[in-house]
Amino acid sequence: SPTKSGAQSLLDQTAKQAPKVLADASGFTVAFDKDGTTYYRARFGGFGSKNAAWKACDALKRKKISCFAVEQ
């Protein structure tokens, strides 16, 4: 998202669309720069394991919510 509030709005909307999938997750935004412009990623974290994160992502995709799981 080009704005932090836009990324937060995505987090809020996704949490409302998939409350059971994201019940134990925490939403947060991450700023990053690309070609001199700051963007904000909407992320959920706090999953108990890598496998739990992947399962949550799969469940979001089944709800037609874009998702990409990464391990940090």
For residue range 36-61, list pLDDT tens digits in order.
Answer: 999 999 999 999 999 999 999 999 99
pLDDT number for residue 72: 72
Which percentage of the chain shows pLDDT scores above 90? 92
Gyration radius from the chain CA atoms: 12
pLDDT number for residue 71: 79
Domain ranges of the chain: 4-62
Please state the pTM of the whole predicted model: 0.85
Mean pLDDT confidence for 14-23: 95
pLDDT band of residue 67 (cuts 50, 70, 90) is: very high
